[in-house]
Structure 1
Amino acid sequence: MIFSNILVPFDGSELAMKSLEKAIEFAKLDRTVKVTALHAYQLPIKRVPDAIFNPVKNMIMEDAHATIEPAKKKLEVISEQSEAMIVEGAPIKVILEKAEELNCDVIIMGSRGLSGIKEFLGSISHYISQHSPIPLLLIK
């Protein structure tokens, strides 16, 4: 098999779903292939009292769980080794760290068309394509 351990950053978008579906296609070719759907979320810097911060944190966590739920359902059709996970942190950092930690051999993620200020600032997929030590398959 070309890939044995696939990481799919998952934000709930249409391109994230297409990326996950592509990873599942690879996994269906070989039941030993592991697919990990990863949702990274970032909490705001805590500069307010707990009474204000905790409700915001809870809303972000609820959103993270709701976001990853479709990925969990999609992954049910393949190997027991596959999983969906939620990790707190900057998405760029989390994606690269988890790819290494999980010993992934490819990252499959969506590519977005960039223009204007977004291209100047860069995107997550662009950054990953420039800094990932493992292959990256971008889905359009």
Structure 2
Amino acid sequence: MAGNVVVGVDGSDTAYKAASRAATLAEGLGSELVVLSAHMTGNTEVVRIGNDTWILDDAEQALKLAERVAVKLREEHPSVTVRSAAGRGKPQDVLIEEAERADAQLLVVGNVGMKGLRRVLGSVAWSVVHNAPCDVLVVKTAS
């Protein structure tokens, strides 16, 4: 089957559960896994503490987060090619855009719950399920 598997991460345990399931599926499908993190702004902030200067960049931090997850998944699934990526925008939009750009065969999201009409699926999962250009797997990561 052509195409890769895309999963979004945000640093939470539930996102890691979805990423772990995505790695297992990518391994079985012989596909590349794209671990993707979104950032909402393009802010860059310079912080000075004593003689040290730190540059904090939202895009860089999002990519570092995705890479930390990718490193763990590579250790757990050495036969899977895992690529980290980051995109600017709402998480659901970034996931859908990456799936379109990379001609993904599968998008994997967690089911982080919320209240109200969408209480069964989180808002990201709900949006991805209804707008993805490919199959979507919603991993039960929270009750």
Normalising by structure 2, we get a TM-score of: 0.73
Q: 1:91 deviation in Å? A: 1.8
Matches within 5 A, 1:98-117: 98-116=98-116
SS of alignment partner, residue 78 of structure 1? coil
What is the CA RMSD across the aligned residues, in angstroms?
A: 2.8
Instruction: Give the structure, 1 or 2, with the largest relative contact order (CA under 8 Å, sep 6 or more).
Output: 1
| CA positional deviation for 1:60 | 2.8
State the alpha-carbon separation in 2 of the partners of residues 78 and 27 from structure 1.
Answer: 12
Query: Does the Cα contact within 8 Å between 2:59 and 2:86 map onto a contact in 1?
Result: no
- Which residue is equivalent to 2:44? 54
Residue 11 of structure 2 corresponds to which residue in structure 1? 12
Q: Which runs of 5+ in 1 are unaligned?
A: 45-52
Aligned length: 128
Please list every run of at least 4 consecutive aligned residues from structure 1 whose deviation after the TM superposition is greater than 3 angstroms.
Answer: 77-81, 116-119
- Flag the structure with higher strand content: 2
Deviations 1:24-82 (A, max 9, x none): 1123335x3111000010117xxxxxxxx631782534542442233121232334642
> CA separation in 1, counterparts of 2:34 and 2:14?
16
1:1-140 matches, within 5 Å, as: 4-30=3-29, 32-43=30-41, 54-55=44-45, 58-61=56-59, 63-76=61-74, 77-79=77-79, 81-116=81-116, 123-140=123-140
TM-score, scaled relative to structure 1: 0.75
CA contact (8 A) 1:36 1:84 kept: yes
Long gaps (5+) in structure 2: 47-54
Contact 2:129 2:136 in 1 (8 A): yes
Identity between Structure 1 and Structure 2 (%) = 26
1:23 Cα deviation (Å)? Answer: 1.4
**Inter-CA distance 61–97: structure 2 relative to 1 (3 Å threshold):** closer
CA distance in 2, matches of 1:38, 1:99: 10
The residue number in structure 2 matching 1:50 is none
